[in-house]
Amino acid sequence: MEAIVVTHGIRVPAAALTMRAVRASGPGGQNVNKVASKVDLRVDLDAIEGLAAAARERLRALARHRLDGDGRLWITSQATRDQGRNLDDAREKVRALVIAALAEPKRRRPSRPSAAARERRIESKKHRGQVKSQRARPADWT
């Protein structure tokens, strides 16, 4: 199995990948009972080359539900009836996950509403109060 190249500086070496083919579920006729076309791909996250520590932690957070008992990323693919295409699909899923972990989240800067926005809010509340007060019975109703 060959390495997964994510970017020019980041790659998942072949030694970090473990592939196993198993029988897929779902339709497929008699073929589904004979051919192991589903792919289970496991990736050792610590062995990914060129990944910064912060990006590695983001990757662990993104993949927290896909980690096995040893802390390896577990990806499955049974999209097609062809084992080779399922392997390519699983490798692309790994690549997309690493790319998603590379994106540094934007820091949220706390903001405050403008004076005009506060004024519009107060006017809206006063208007709603007037509408509701007009629904009430008149005070001299007997």
pLDDT digits (tens, 9 = 90+) for 45-56: 888 999 899 999
Q: State both tokens at 8.
A: 């020019």
> Could you tell me which residues come within 8 angstroms of residue 6 by beta carbon, excluding any fewer than 6 positions away?
12, 95, 98, 99, 102
Q: In the prediction, which pLDDT does 116 show?
A: 97
Give pLDDT tens digits for 78-97. Answer: 888 888 999 999 999 999 99
CATH number belonging to domain 4-102: 3.30.160.20
Backbone φ and ψ for 39, nearest 5 degrees, come out as -115, 130
> Could you tell me which residues come within 8 angstroms of residue 133 by beta carbon, excluding any fewer than 6 positions away?
none
Please name which of 92, 89, 98 lies closest in space to residue 45, comparing C-alpha atoms: 98
| Mean pLDDT, residues 14-34 | 79
